[in-house]
Amino acid sequence: MTQAIDKDRVLIFDTTLRDGEQSPGATMTHEEKLEIAELLDEMGVDIIEAGFPIASEGDFRAVKEIAERSKNSVICGLARANLTDIDRCWEAVQHAGKPRIHTFIGTSPLHRAIPNLTMDEMAERIHETVTHARNLCGNVQWSPMDATRTEWDYLCRVIEIAIKAGATTINIPDTVGYTAPVESADLIKRLIETVPGADEVVFATHCHNDLGMATANALAAVAGGARQIECTVNGLGERAGNTALEEVVMALKVRHDIMPWHTGVDSTKIMNISRRVATASGFAVQFNKAIVGKNAFAHESGIHQDGMLKNAETFEIMRPADVGLAASSLPLGKHSGRAALRAKLRDLGIDLADNQLKDVFVRFKDLADRKKEVYDEDILALVHAGEDAANDALQIKSLRVACGTGGPAEATLVMEVDGIEKTATQQGDGPVDATFKAVRELHPNKAHLQLYQVHAVTEGTDAQATVSVRLEEDGNIATGQSADTDTVVASAKAYVNALNRLLVRRGKTGQDRKEISYRDVS
């Protein structure tokens, strides 16, 4: 079937919920996946790879519900090259308005050795599995994993087989971030020129950032003829991450003079989803990250500041508003009302229902009483601070800490455990250690602390501290995050937040997350 291809349109295929979530420690809750999928759908992402349905019951449920809720985007699930995976994938995505099955197999010599298949045996499996997928779904994507290290003749052969079997999109993954821009462009160009039927399908690019060239490689592939970019919000992903959605979208927008292609993404929604993914994954965005980093539109140099005051274009190639960042701030403090808070939230791309606004406003007033001025970052931290807390099995009621140079720190914690209020006092090597020991006394657990990270949300001694905690227990990994003007309180809340997530995974999902061999997918 020949597809009508807009030669100037680049499709954005977001895999934050699949490849992004595979980044160790970035596992998201069911509710977070649904929320992020909704934001991606609203911002105009063309295809959302919602997960890997065969990986676990939790992944299956998330993909299925995202498919059922989708309004605009194609909803895609991933499947290995076997009939069981493909059937499970179709079961999850079939109720989407626009479903897609994405199936793959590793075609390089290194990857062929894993299932111990000859070239002919793998070719036969590709034909069988792509045919099966196409019989189920009219929209099928096929990927030769580690394509950039696959022999040229064999790569052409298996792509032709996949196209003849019914694949409508051919994705070329640089699975290990090995290629360079000139190679990326040349590979796509040669494949389109060489493989029979290539002009009837969409070619896609999927790049990893191991050598720091993912975005450059993706854009080079577009220059070579690819018309779909696989990417993730904030560049989240395994090892060094994936091509960053915000980078390719803004590069195509800002440098349209030399890259005459466009996407359907509403770039003004970028900052909001960047912040949401950072909170859900527990992976903070580095300050100097392109487009979405805290310093991306900050200027400290005197020369730069002088230039900015005279003409912002002297040192900014895009407007903050282009990515959803308010160019000027509306100062908020303890005298600000609900209307001002709602206006600020809307400036930040967040529209809350009345009951949600009421809850955030209470926390805002409490914070404003302790701070001279409440910044944008403070407000964003408040919005996410109370999410799902009402249903948590573990809830902190109060915390008192004594510490100093005269002896060990002591923490007295009052915590509600399954609706029962309990108190514990513990000493430790510092206030955070004492607090965590008190939590463990009230809720005994074997969780191993893999990460404890603190950073200030804003400037000043009254700044909110955002604390990220990552715990591992029996193969399950959960990340908790919280913000407070008291670092110890933020630490306690983040620790308890992570414990609650572990409880959810053990309880509500009915099983631990299965670990199957898909960590290096595409």
> Do 265 and 205 share a domain, yes or no?
yes
> Do 180 and 316 share a domain, yes or no?
no
Low-confidence ranges of the chain (pLDDT < 70): 1-5, 297-316, 326-331, 371-373, 377, 384-391, 458-459, 505-522
- Least Cα distance to 191 among 145, 157, 240 occurs for 157
Residues 6+ apart with CB under 8 A from 390: none
Question: Cα 318 from chain centroid?
Answer: 24
Q: Is residue 27 part of a domain?
A: yes
> Do 214 and 110 share a domain, yes or no?
yes
CATH number of the domain that residue 77 is part of: 3.20.20.70
Task: Return the pLDDT at 310.
Answer: 58
Residue whose tokens read 């409508």? 168
Is residue 19 annotated as involved in ligand binding?
Answer: yes
> Do 68 and 158 share a domain, yes or no?
yes
> Could you give the number of structural domains in the chain?
3
Distances (CA, A) of 19 to 231, 241, 242, 289, 329: 9, 9, 8, 20, 35
> Do 211 and 80 share a domain, yes or no?
yes
Q: Is residue 375 part of a domain?
A: no
Of 323, 341, 374, the one marking the end of a domain is 323
> Do 418 and 318 share a domain, yes or no?
no
DSSP per residue over 26-77, as a string?
Answer: ----HHHHHHHHHHHHHHT-SEEEEE-TTS-HHHHHHHHHHHHH-SSSEEEE
Of 323, 357, 380, the one marking the end of a domain is 323
Is residue 208 annotated as involved in ligand binding?
Answer: yes
Q: Is residue 112 part of a domain?
A: yes
> Do 274 and 304 share a domain, yes or no?
no
Of 281, 313, 335, the one marking the end of a domain is 281
> Do 302 and 179 share a domain, yes or no?
no
Q: Is residue 499 part of a domain?
A: yes
Q: Is residue 132 part of a domain?
A: yes
> Do 213 and 318 share a domain, yes or no?
no
Q: Is residue 452 part of a domain?
A: yes
> Do 301 and 241 share a domain, yes or no?
no
Task: Return the pLDDT at 3.
Answer: 47
Q: Is residue 358 part of a domain?
A: no
- What's at 38, amino acid-wise? E
Chain segment 112-154, per-residue pLDDT in tens: 999 889 999 999 999 999 999 999 999 999 999 999 999 999 9
> Do 97 and 142 share a domain, yes or no?
yes
Task: Return the pLDDT at 331.
Answer: 58
Distances (CA, A) of 240 to 28, 170, 212: 19, 24, 8
Task: Return the pLDDT at 288.
Answer: 86
What three-state secondary structure class fits 400? Answer: strand
Residue 163: domain span: 11-281
CATH number of the domain that residue 429 is part of: 3.30.160.270
- Least Cα distance to 27 among 65, 67, 57, 58 occurs for 58
Chain segment 36-90, per-residue pLDDT in tens: 999 999 999 999 999 999 999 989 999 999 999 999 999 999 999 999 999 999 9
Task: Return the pLDDT at 46.
Answer: 98
> Do 313 and 416 share a domain, yes or no?
no
Q: Is residue 517 part of a domain?
A: no
